[in-house]
Amino acid sequence: MTKIAFIGAGSVVFTQGLLADLFELDLGPLQIALHDIDPERLDTAAAAAAYIARERGVTPRISTHLERRAALDDADFVINIVQVGMNAATQIDFEVPARYGIRQTIGDTLGVGGVFRALRTFPVLRALAADIAEVCPDAWLLNYTNPMVMNVWYLKALGVRNVVGLCHSVYWTMQGLSELVGVPYEDVRYLAAGVNHQSWVLRFERGAENLYDRLDERVAADPELRRRVRVDLYRRLGYYPTETSEHSAEYVPWYLSHPAEIDRLRLPIGAYLDIVAENLASYEQTRSALKSGEPVPVEPTMEYAPQIIHSIVTGTPRTVYGNVPNTGLISNLQSGAVVEVPCLVDASGVQPTAVGALPAQCAAVNRSYLNVAELTVQAALDQDPLAIRQAVMLDPATSIPVDQIWALCNDLVLAHNNYLDPSLRVALT
Protein backbone atom coordinates (compact mmCIF):
# COMPACT_ATOMS: atom_id res chain seq x y z
CA MET A 1 0.00 0.00 0.00
CA THR A 2 1.30 3.46 -0.94
CA LYS A 3 1.05 6.00 1.86
CA ILE A 4 0.79 9.71 1.03
CA ALA A 5 0.92 12.23 3.87
CA PHE A 6 -0.52 15.73 3.35
CA ILE A 7 1.11 18.29 5.65
CA GLY A 8 -1.10 21.37 5.84
CA ALA A 9 -4.14 19.48 4.55
CA GLY A 10 -6.35 22.26 5.92
CA SER A 11 -5.54 24.15 2.72
CA VAL A 12 -8.68 22.36 1.61
CA VAL A 13 -9.10 23.74 -1.91
CA PHE A 14 -5.58 22.72 -2.94
CA THR A 15 -5.86 19.40 -1.13
CA GLN A 16 -9.06 18.65 -3.04
CA GLY A 17 -7.44 19.25 -6.41
CA LEU A 18 -4.48 17.02 -5.62
CA LEU A 19 -6.75 14.25 -4.35
CA ALA A 20 -8.90 14.48 -7.47
CA ASP A 21 -5.76 13.97 -9.56
CA LEU A 22 -4.49 11.12 -7.40
CA PHE A 23 -7.79 9.25 -7.44
CA GLU A 24 -7.84 9.36 -11.26
CA LEU A 25 -4.55 7.44 -11.42
CA ASP A 26 -4.00 3.70 -11.10
CA LEU A 27 -1.88 3.60 -7.96
CA GLY A 28 -3.17 0.44 -6.32
CA PRO A 29 -4.10 0.46 -2.62
CA LEU A 30 -3.69 3.95 -1.13
CA GLN A 31 -3.47 5.38 2.34
CA ILE A 32 -4.07 9.12 2.60
CA ALA A 33 -2.87 10.62 5.90
CA LEU A 34 -4.11 14.18 6.44
CA HIS A 35 -2.36 16.45 8.94
CA ASP A 36 -3.23 19.96 10.07
CA ILE A 37 -3.03 21.85 13.36
CA ASP A 38 -6.53 23.31 12.88
CA PRO A 39 -9.12 20.68 13.90
CA GLU A 40 -11.98 22.26 11.97
CA ARG A 41 -10.01 22.52 8.74
CA LEU A 42 -8.71 19.00 9.22
CA ASP A 43 -12.25 17.67 9.58
CA THR A 44 -13.28 19.55 6.43
CA ALA A 45 -10.30 18.12 4.51
CA ALA A 46 -11.24 14.59 5.63
CA ALA A 47 -14.86 15.06 4.57
CA ALA A 48 -13.70 16.40 1.20
CA ALA A 49 -11.32 13.46 0.72
CA ALA A 50 -14.08 10.95 1.48
CA TYR A 51 -16.46 12.75 -0.89
CA ILE A 52 -13.97 12.84 -3.76
CA ALA A 53 -13.11 9.16 -3.24
CA ARG A 54 -16.80 8.21 -3.47
CA GLU A 55 -17.24 10.34 -6.58
CA ARG A 56 -14.21 8.74 -8.23
CA GLY A 57 -15.21 5.22 -7.19
CA VAL A 58 -12.06 4.50 -5.18
CA THR A 59 -11.61 3.25 -1.62
CA PRO A 60 -8.42 4.65 -0.11
CA ARG A 61 -7.75 4.39 3.60
CA ILE A 62 -8.12 7.97 4.90
CA SER A 63 -6.81 9.01 8.31
CA THR A 64 -6.59 12.38 10.06
CA HIS A 65 -3.83 13.52 12.42
CA LEU A 66 -3.41 16.62 14.53
CA GLU A 67 0.04 15.25 15.40
CA ARG A 68 2.40 15.42 12.41
CA ARG A 69 4.64 12.47 13.21
CA ALA A 70 1.72 10.02 13.19
CA ALA A 71 0.76 11.20 9.70
CA LEU A 72 4.35 10.77 8.49
CA ASP A 73 4.95 7.33 10.00
CA ASP A 74 6.10 5.02 7.16
CA ALA A 75 4.94 7.48 4.48
CA ASP A 76 6.19 6.93 0.94
CA PHE A 77 5.38 10.48 -0.14
CA VAL A 78 4.95 13.71 1.80
CA ILE A 79 3.12 16.63 0.20
CA ASN A 80 3.87 19.89 1.98
CA ILE A 81 1.29 22.67 1.55
CA VAL A 82 1.59 24.48 4.89
CA GLN A 83 1.04 28.22 5.13
CA VAL A 84 2.42 29.42 8.45
CA GLY A 85 0.40 32.26 9.91
CA MET A 86 -2.30 31.94 7.28
CA ASN A 87 -4.26 35.04 6.31
CA ALA A 88 -3.37 37.24 9.28
CA ALA A 89 0.36 36.90 8.60
CA THR A 90 -0.16 37.60 4.90
CA GLN A 91 -2.02 40.78 5.78
CA ILE A 92 0.95 41.89 7.88
CA ASP A 93 3.34 41.15 5.00
CA PHE A 94 1.48 43.71 2.91
CA GLU A 95 0.38 46.32 5.42
CA VAL A 96 3.69 46.91 7.20
CA PRO A 97 5.84 47.34 4.04
CA ALA A 98 3.14 49.58 2.55
CA ARG A 99 3.75 52.06 5.38
CA TYR A 100 7.28 52.41 4.02
CA GLY A 101 6.08 52.95 0.45
CA ILE A 102 6.82 49.40 -0.74
CA ARG A 103 4.32 48.08 -3.24
CA GLN A 104 3.72 44.33 -3.58
CA THR A 105 1.36 42.33 -5.72
CA ILE A 106 1.78 38.74 -4.47
CA GLY A 107 4.55 38.87 -1.86
CA ASP A 108 5.14 35.13 -1.51
CA THR A 109 8.39 34.54 -3.39
CA LEU A 110 10.88 37.39 -3.12
CA GLY A 111 10.89 40.88 -1.68
CA VAL A 112 10.30 41.65 1.96
CA GLY A 113 7.08 39.62 1.90
CA GLY A 114 8.87 36.55 0.57
CA VAL A 115 11.76 36.92 3.05
CA PHE A 116 9.47 37.00 6.08
CA ARG A 117 7.19 34.28 4.75
CA ALA A 118 10.30 32.09 4.54
CA LEU A 119 11.53 33.02 8.01
CA ARG A 120 8.25 32.08 9.65
CA THR A 121 8.07 28.84 7.63
CA PHE A 122 11.62 27.62 8.33
CA PRO A 123 10.98 26.50 11.95
CA VAL A 124 8.10 24.30 10.74
CA LEU A 125 10.27 22.92 7.92
CA ARG A 126 13.06 22.15 10.39
CA ALA A 127 10.66 20.15 12.57
CA LEU A 128 9.23 18.44 9.49
CA ALA A 129 12.72 17.49 8.29
CA ALA A 130 13.57 16.01 11.70
CA ASP A 131 10.38 13.94 11.72
CA ILE A 132 10.98 12.67 8.19
CA ALA A 133 14.53 11.64 9.12
CA GLU A 134 13.21 9.55 11.99
CA VAL A 135 9.98 7.98 10.70
CA CYS A 136 10.13 7.98 6.86
CA PRO A 137 13.70 8.78 5.74
CA ASP A 138 13.22 7.35 2.24
CA ALA A 139 10.02 9.28 1.52
CA TRP A 140 9.87 11.82 -1.29
CA LEU A 141 9.04 15.28 0.05
CA LEU A 142 7.03 17.14 -2.59
CA ASN A 143 6.99 20.79 -1.58
CA TYR A 144 4.38 23.28 -2.78
CA THR A 145 4.85 25.86 -0.03
CA ASN A 146 6.26 29.23 -1.09
CA PRO A 147 8.76 30.80 -1.20
CA MET A 148 9.78 27.74 -3.19
CA VAL A 149 13.48 28.44 -3.74
CA MET A 150 14.15 29.47 -0.14
CA ASN A 151 12.20 26.56 1.33
CA VAL A 152 13.77 23.83 -0.81
CA TRP A 153 17.25 25.37 -0.34
CA TYR A 154 16.72 25.30 3.45
CA LEU A 155 15.39 21.73 3.43
CA LYS A 156 18.41 20.51 1.46
CA ALA A 157 20.73 22.34 3.86
CA LEU A 158 19.05 20.42 6.68
CA GLY A 159 19.89 17.15 4.93
CA VAL A 160 16.50 16.08 3.56
CA ARG A 161 17.51 13.48 1.00
CA ASN A 162 14.58 13.28 -1.40
CA VAL A 163 12.98 16.69 -1.87
CA VAL A 164 11.71 18.50 -4.95
CA GLY A 165 9.79 21.75 -5.19
CA LEU A 166 6.76 21.77 -7.46
CA CYS A 167 5.01 24.64 -9.20
CA HIS A 168 2.58 24.76 -12.11
CA SER A 169 3.90 27.99 -13.67
CA VAL A 170 5.88 26.39 -16.53
CA TYR A 171 2.96 24.16 -17.54
CA TRP A 172 0.35 26.92 -17.50
CA THR A 173 2.68 29.40 -19.20
CA MET A 174 3.12 27.00 -22.09
CA GLN A 175 -0.61 26.35 -22.24
CA GLY A 176 -1.19 30.11 -22.50
CA LEU A 177 1.56 30.70 -25.04
CA SER A 178 0.28 27.85 -27.22
CA GLU A 179 -3.17 29.40 -27.24
CA LEU A 180 -1.73 32.83 -27.96
CA VAL A 181 0.09 31.67 -31.09
CA GLY A 182 -2.76 29.39 -32.23
CA VAL A 183 -0.94 26.06 -31.95
CA PRO A 184 -2.35 23.09 -29.99
CA TYR A 185 -0.37 22.52 -26.80
CA GLU A 186 0.08 18.86 -27.75
CA ASP A 187 2.03 19.93 -30.85
CA VAL A 188 4.41 22.24 -28.99
CA ARG A 189 7.91 21.33 -27.86
CA TYR A 190 9.60 23.56 -25.34
CA LEU A 191 12.44 23.90 -22.86
CA ALA A 192 12.40 26.21 -19.85
CA ALA A 193 14.92 26.77 -17.07
CA GLY A 194 15.85 29.31 -14.43
CA VAL A 195 14.46 29.73 -10.92
CA ASN A 196 10.94 29.25 -9.62
CA HIS A 197 8.55 31.96 -10.84
CA GLN A 198 11.41 33.31 -12.97
CA SER A 199 12.34 30.60 -15.43
CA TRP A 200 12.76 31.39 -19.11
CA VAL A 201 11.29 29.70 -22.16
CA LEU A 202 14.50 28.83 -23.98
CA ARG A 203 12.87 26.90 -26.82
CA PHE A 204 9.32 27.23 -28.14
CA GLU A 205 8.80 25.14 -31.27
CA ARG A 206 6.49 23.06 -33.41
CA GLY A 207 8.62 20.72 -35.45
CA ALA A 208 11.17 22.92 -37.22
CA GLU A 209 9.09 26.08 -36.67
CA ASN A 210 10.31 28.60 -34.10
CA LEU A 211 7.06 29.69 -32.46
CA TYR A 212 8.70 32.79 -31.03
CA ASP A 213 8.27 34.23 -34.55
CA ARG A 214 4.49 33.84 -34.22
CA LEU A 215 4.59 35.36 -30.75
CA ASP A 216 6.47 38.38 -32.08
CA GLU A 217 3.75 38.90 -34.68
CA ARG A 218 1.01 38.70 -32.05
CA VAL A 219 2.81 41.16 -29.76
CA ALA A 220 3.48 43.60 -32.59
CA ALA A 221 -0.18 43.55 -33.65
CA ASP A 222 -1.73 43.97 -30.20
CA PRO A 223 -0.90 47.02 -28.05
CA GLU A 224 -2.76 45.49 -25.10
CA LEU A 225 -0.38 42.53 -25.05
CA ARG A 226 2.47 44.98 -24.65
CA ARG A 227 0.83 46.16 -21.43
CA ARG A 228 1.81 42.94 -19.65
CA VAL A 229 4.97 42.82 -17.55
CA ARG A 230 5.97 39.40 -18.82
CA VAL A 231 5.61 40.56 -22.44
CA ASP A 232 7.62 43.67 -21.61
CA LEU A 233 10.34 41.48 -20.10
CA TYR A 234 10.28 39.23 -23.15
CA ARG A 235 10.68 42.16 -25.53
CA ARG A 236 13.66 43.49 -23.60
CA LEU A 237 15.40 40.25 -22.54
CA GLY A 238 14.54 38.05 -25.51
CA TYR A 239 13.05 35.12 -23.58
CA TYR A 240 9.56 34.75 -22.16
CA PRO A 241 9.31 34.41 -18.34
CA THR A 242 7.26 31.59 -16.87
CA GLU A 243 5.20 33.41 -14.27
CA THR A 244 2.35 35.89 -14.37
CA SER A 245 2.92 39.60 -14.69
CA GLU A 246 1.80 40.13 -11.09
CA HIS A 247 4.58 37.83 -9.90
CA SER A 248 7.19 38.92 -12.43
CA ALA A 249 6.91 42.61 -11.53
CA GLU A 250 8.10 41.92 -7.97
CA TYR A 251 11.45 40.35 -8.82
CA VAL A 252 13.00 43.26 -10.72
CA PRO A 253 13.50 47.00 -9.95
CA TRP A 254 11.85 48.44 -13.03
CA TYR A 255 8.10 48.39 -12.40
CA LEU A 256 6.57 48.58 -8.93
CA SER A 257 8.67 51.54 -7.79
CA HIS A 258 7.32 53.70 -10.61
CA PRO A 259 3.66 54.85 -10.67
CA ALA A 260 3.73 55.41 -14.43
CA GLU A 261 4.80 51.80 -15.00
CA ILE A 262 2.11 50.54 -12.62
CA ASP A 263 -0.47 52.35 -14.75
CA ARG A 264 1.04 51.34 -18.09
CA LEU A 265 1.25 47.69 -17.15
CA ARG A 266 -1.99 47.58 -15.11
CA LEU A 267 -0.33 46.13 -12.04
CA PRO A 268 -2.79 45.22 -9.24
CA ILE A 269 -1.13 46.27 -5.98
CA GLY A 270 -2.07 43.89 -3.18
CA ALA A 271 -3.58 41.34 -5.58
CA TYR A 272 -2.73 38.44 -3.29
CA LEU A 273 -5.02 39.79 -0.59
CA ASP A 274 -7.91 39.35 -3.03
CA ILE A 275 -6.76 35.78 -3.71
CA VAL A 276 -6.68 35.11 0.04
CA ALA A 277 -10.25 36.38 0.35
CA GLU A 278 -11.34 34.18 -2.57
CA ASN A 279 -9.67 31.14 -0.99
CA LEU A 280 -11.44 31.80 2.29
CA ALA A 281 -14.77 32.07 0.48
CA SER A 282 -14.07 28.82 -1.41
CA TYR A 283 -13.22 27.06 1.84
CA GLU A 284 -16.44 28.24 3.50
CA GLN A 285 -18.50 27.13 0.49
CA THR A 286 -16.84 23.70 0.52
CA ARG A 287 -17.34 23.26 4.25
CA SER A 288 -21.02 24.26 4.02
CA ALA A 289 -21.65 22.00 1.02
CA LEU A 290 -20.06 18.99 2.70
CA LYS A 291 -22.05 19.53 5.88
CA SER A 292 -25.34 19.81 4.01
CA GLY A 293 -24.64 16.97 1.59
CA GLU A 294 -24.60 19.19 -1.48
CA PRO A 295 -22.36 18.40 -4.48
CA VAL A 296 -18.81 19.73 -4.34
CA PRO A 297 -17.45 20.26 -7.85
CA VAL A 298 -13.77 19.30 -7.95
CA GLU A 299 -11.82 19.42 -11.19
CA PRO A 300 -8.44 17.76 -11.84
CA THR A 301 -5.56 20.22 -11.62
CA MET A 302 -2.78 18.65 -13.73
CA GLU A 303 -0.41 19.28 -10.81
CA TYR A 304 2.97 17.54 -10.81
CA ALA A 305 2.82 15.77 -7.42
CA PRO A 306 0.27 13.11 -8.48
CA GLN A 307 2.20 12.56 -11.72
CA ILE A 308 5.47 12.09 -9.82
CA ILE A 309 3.84 9.65 -7.41
CA HIS A 310 2.39 7.67 -10.31
CA SER A 311 5.74 7.51 -12.12
CA ILE A 312 7.66 6.37 -9.04
CA VAL A 313 5.03 3.82 -7.99
CA THR A 314 4.40 2.35 -11.45
CA GLY A 315 7.70 3.05 -13.24
CA THR A 316 5.88 5.06 -15.93
CA PRO A 317 8.41 7.61 -17.26
CA ARG A 318 7.42 11.24 -17.69
CA THR A 319 9.00 14.68 -17.61
CA VAL A 320 8.00 17.38 -15.15
CA TYR A 321 9.53 20.66 -14.05
CA GLY A 322 11.08 20.55 -10.61
CA ASN A 323 12.96 22.83 -8.23
CA VAL A 324 16.16 21.13 -7.17
CA PRO A 325 19.72 22.00 -6.03
CA ASN A 326 21.97 23.27 -8.77
CA THR A 327 24.60 20.57 -9.11
CA GLY A 328 25.90 21.89 -12.42
CA LEU A 329 22.40 21.84 -13.95
CA ILE A 330 22.59 25.52 -14.91
CA SER A 331 26.25 26.32 -15.29
CA ASN A 332 26.07 30.11 -14.91
CA LEU A 333 23.98 30.14 -11.70
CA GLN A 334 25.55 29.56 -8.30
CA SER A 335 26.22 26.00 -7.21
CA GLY A 336 23.86 24.73 -4.52
CA ALA A 337 21.16 27.27 -5.29
CA VAL A 338 17.73 25.87 -6.09
CA VAL A 339 16.93 26.01 -9.80
CA GLU A 340 13.97 24.99 -11.93
CA VAL A 341 14.73 22.49 -14.69
CA PRO A 342 13.03 19.60 -16.50
CA CYS A 343 13.24 16.35 -14.57
CA LEU A 344 12.76 12.75 -15.71
CA VAL A 345 10.65 10.77 -13.25
CA ASP A 346 10.40 6.98 -13.15
CA ALA A 347 10.80 4.21 -10.59
CA SER A 348 14.26 5.57 -9.75
CA GLY A 349 12.80 8.87 -8.57
CA VAL A 350 13.21 12.46 -9.76
CA GLN A 351 16.25 12.92 -11.99
CA PRO A 352 17.05 16.52 -13.00
CA THR A 353 18.28 17.38 -16.48
CA ALA A 354 21.36 19.52 -17.05
CA VAL A 355 20.48 22.54 -19.18
CA GLY A 356 23.87 24.23 -19.46
CA ALA A 357 24.27 28.00 -19.48
CA LEU A 358 21.31 30.36 -19.59
CA PRO A 359 21.49 33.42 -21.84
CA ALA A 360 23.71 35.89 -19.98
CA GLN A 361 20.97 38.47 -19.42
CA CYS A 362 18.57 35.86 -18.01
CA ALA A 363 21.20 34.44 -15.68
CA ALA A 364 22.00 37.95 -14.45
CA VAL A 365 18.38 38.57 -13.49
CA ASN A 366 18.19 35.14 -11.80
CA ARG A 367 21.34 35.83 -9.80
CA SER A 368 19.78 38.95 -8.26
CA TYR A 369 16.86 36.78 -7.14
CA LEU A 370 19.13 34.05 -5.77
CA ASN A 371 21.21 36.53 -3.78
CA VAL A 372 18.13 37.39 -1.70
CA ALA A 373 17.23 33.72 -1.27
CA GLU A 374 20.75 32.76 -0.24
CA LEU A 375 20.99 35.40 2.46
CA THR A 376 17.54 34.52 3.81
CA VAL A 377 18.49 30.86 4.11
CA GLN A 378 21.81 31.85 5.67
CA ALA A 379 20.00 34.00 8.24
CA ALA A 380 18.13 30.92 9.43
CA LEU A 381 21.06 28.51 9.29
CA ASP A 382 23.39 30.89 11.16
CA GLN A 383 20.63 32.40 13.32
CA ASP A 384 21.89 35.79 12.13
CA PRO A 385 19.42 38.70 12.31
CA LEU A 386 21.79 40.94 10.34
CA ALA A 387 21.53 38.62 7.32
CA ILE A 388 17.77 39.28 7.22
CA ARG A 389 18.42 42.98 6.69
CA GLN A 390 21.10 42.23 4.11
CA ALA A 391 18.67 40.02 2.19
CA VAL A 392 16.12 42.84 2.04
CA MET A 393 18.86 45.34 1.09
CA LEU A 394 19.71 43.21 -1.94
CA ASP A 395 16.11 42.72 -3.01
CA PRO A 396 15.69 44.33 -6.46
CA ALA A 397 12.26 45.83 -5.72
CA THR A 398 12.86 47.14 -2.18
CA SER A 399 14.02 50.60 -3.19
CA ILE A 400 13.98 52.52 0.09
CA PRO A 401 16.88 53.97 2.11
CA VAL A 402 18.82 51.46 4.16
CA ASP A 403 17.86 53.04 7.50
CA GLN A 404 14.23 52.45 6.53
CA ILE A 405 15.02 48.85 5.59
CA TRP A 406 16.35 48.35 9.12
CA ALA A 407 13.23 49.97 10.61
CA LEU A 408 10.93 47.92 8.34
CA CYS A 409 12.64 44.66 9.33
CA ASN A 410 12.40 45.63 12.98
CA ASP A 411 8.67 46.19 12.58
CA LEU A 412 8.18 42.86 10.80
CA VAL A 413 10.27 40.94 13.32
CA LEU A 414 8.01 42.33 16.03
CA ALA A 415 4.82 41.62 14.05
CA HIS A 416 5.82 38.01 13.30
CA ASN A 417 7.55 37.47 16.64
CA ASN A 418 5.60 34.36 17.60
CA TYR A 419 6.63 32.50 14.41
CA LEU A 420 10.34 33.33 14.18
CA ASP A 421 13.28 31.55 15.77
CA PRO A 422 14.06 33.26 19.12
CA SER A 423 17.50 34.48 18.05
CA LEU A 424 15.98 36.27 15.05
CA ARG A 425 13.37 38.11 17.15
CA VAL A 426 15.58 41.13 17.74
CA ALA A 427 15.56 44.71 16.59
CA LEU A 428 18.80 46.09 15.15
CA THR A 429 19.97 49.67 14.82
Torsion angle of the four alpha carbons 368, 363, 327, 129, in this order, in degrees rounded to the nearest 10:
40
CA atoms within 13 A on the CB side of 190: 30
For residue 392, give Cα distances in angstroms to 282, 361, 369: 33, 22, 11
Instruction: State the Cα–Cα distance between residues 2 and 79, nearest whole angstrom.
Output: 13
- Give, to the nearest 10 degrees, the angle between helix 111-135 and helix 148-157: 40
Amino acid at 22: L
Chain centre to alpha carbon of residue 299: 20
If we measure between CA atoms, which residue out of 33, 52, 51 comes closest to residue 42?
33
* Contact residues for 271 (Cβ-Cβ < 8 A; gap 6+): 105, 106, 246
| Nearest-angstrom CA–CA distance, 358 and 202 | 8
Q: How many helices (H) and strands (E) does the chain have?
A: 16, 13
Distances (CA, A) of 100 to 14, 39, 155, 351, 424: 33, 37, 32, 44, 21
Angle of helix 12-24 versus helix 271-292 axis, rounded to 10: 70
In the residue annotation, 168 being an active-site residue is answered as yes
Q: 292: Cβ–Cβ under 8 A, 6 or more apart, which residues?
A: none
Q: Which residues contact 305 (CB under 8 A, 6 or more apart)?
A: 18, 21, 77, 79, 142, 144, 166
Cβ-proximal residues to 316 (8 Å cutoff; 6+ apart), any chain: 310, 346
Which one of 168, 197, 247, 258 is the catalytic residue?
Answer: 168
Question: Contact at 8 Å (CB) between 402 and 259?
Answer: no
CB 397 within 8 A of CB 229: no
Q: Which amino acids are annotated catalytic?
A: 168
